[in-house]
Amino acid sequence: MARSNIPLTFQALDFARVREESGVATEESVRSLYLFLEDTRQRLQVMEQQFGWQDVAFAVGNFSANSGTWTVASADQQLYRYSKIGRVLSVNFFLEDTTTSSGMGTQLRIKLPLGMKASATTFMGPLIVRGSVETEGYVTTEGTDTLYCYRTDHAAWPSSVTNNLDIRGTITCQVA
């Protein structure tokens, strides 16, 4: 949900003064408008809590590779969040200054939040890669509880990179 700088709290009006200055009909109209605004504010807050982005706490086990070791430190996780509406899950991530070992494979893996599992294979792009390699790629779920990050050319990820591999991407899929 887009945020604005309009405050969601409204000061209660002095209804007695409105009645004195404008009459009972105006007071009733203003009172109805005030109650409508209060109800709308409360509904917006509930919707924001239900459908807003939720941050995923850092955990070393959330990040791996199919071959070699992909190390993502707590400070590397600039952004990892999700939004779930019904069975639709959107995941947004930005991992900066990550490290790879020698003998890297073609997949970097990120666990879906809260142990959720995709109900089908979904492909989404682009995956933006910066640092030791400047390229693009894509993200897929392969119908599992993991996001798989591939380079577009399906080449192996660069080996023996220290704090110089940035990955950012997003995916929306249906979860079981």
pLDDT class of 1 with cuts at 50, 70, 90:
very low
Residues 54-91 pLDDT 10s: 999 999 999 999 999 999 999 999 999 999 888 999 99
Residues 22-59 pLDDT 10s: 777 777 777 777 676 666 667 766 666 667 889 999 99
Share of the chain above pLDDT 90, in %: 53
Q: Where are the beta strands (DSSP E) in 86-120?
A: 88-100, 108-111
Ordered by start, the domain boundaries in the chain are: 15-51, 54-174
Does the pTM of the predicted model rise above 0.85? no
| Record: fold of 54-174 | Immunoglobulin-like (2.60.40)
Which whole-number Å values give the CA distances from 79 to 96, 113, 133, 134, 171, in the listed order?
9, 13, 20, 20, 14
State how far the Cα of 124 lies from the Cα of 162, in Å rounded to an integer.
27
Residues 88-116 pLDDT 10s: 999 999 999 999 999 999 999 999 998 99
Q: How far is CA 153 from the centre of its chain?
A: 27
